[in-house]
Amino acid sequence: MKLNTLGFSIALTLLSSNAFAAAGERIDATIQVTSTVSSDTFSVTPLGKPNFNDVKAVLDYEKTTGVFTDWDMTIEAKYEVGLSAALATSPTLFNGTDYIPLTVDIDATAMTTTFTEINAVSVPGTGETSTHVLSISAADNSSLSSGLYTGSVSLIFEDSI
C-alpha cells in the first residue's frame, strides 16, 4: 500500500466587510512550509497547478444572508490500484473566539478521518488517471463575531482500496 500524505494545508480565509482590523485588534500570520515528492505511479495534484502549495481557498461570507459560499477545485489523481482519501484531522476555521466546522467532499462524498474509496481501477496494476471535485464548505452558518477566520484542511490520499 502506497501512502502519499499531501501535507497540503489549504489556507482558508474567510473574508467579509468586517474582516479588516480596527484599532486595538491584532492580525496573526502563519506560513506553512511543506513539500511532497510523488512517485511515477501515484500522485494527486490540483488540476492546472503543480502542487497544493499554490492553492488558496476562500469562503466568502454573505452578510445579508448569513451564509458562506462553497469552494470547489478539480484535482487529478494517478494511481495503480485505486484512490482512497481521509481527513488527517477535523477541519475548522477559527478567529480566536469562534469556530466554524468545515465539510470536505470529494465527488460529493463526505470525507472523514476514516479512509473512503474514491475510485478503483478496472484492472489493478495497470494504472489510471482520473479527475475529481474537491469541495469545502462551512458546516455551520450561525451568527459569528467579526474577524478573520483561518484554518487548514489536511487530506491523506492512498493508492489502495
Share of the chain above pLDDT 70, in %: 83
Q: What is the pLDDT of residues 64-90, one digit of tens each?
A: 888 899 999 999 999 988 899 999 999
Least confident interval from 28-37, 53-62, 74-83: 28-37
Cell numbers linked to 52: 497544493
Q: Domain span at residue 60?
A: 2-159
CATH of the domain at 109: 2.60.40.2040
> Any residues with CB less than 8 A from the CB of 149 and at least 6 apart, and which?
12, 13, 14, 93, 94, 95, 98, 100
Does pTM surpass 0.85?
A: no
Look at phi and psi of residue 147 and say left if phi exceeds 0, alpha if psi is from -120 to 50, else beta.
left
Domain count, the chain: 1
Residue-averaged pLDDT of the chain: 82
pLDDT band of 21, cuts 50, 70, 90: low
Taking alpha carbons only, the member of 67, 74, 41, 71 closest to residue 59 is 71
Inform me whether the pLDDT recorded for 111 exceeds 90. Answer: yes
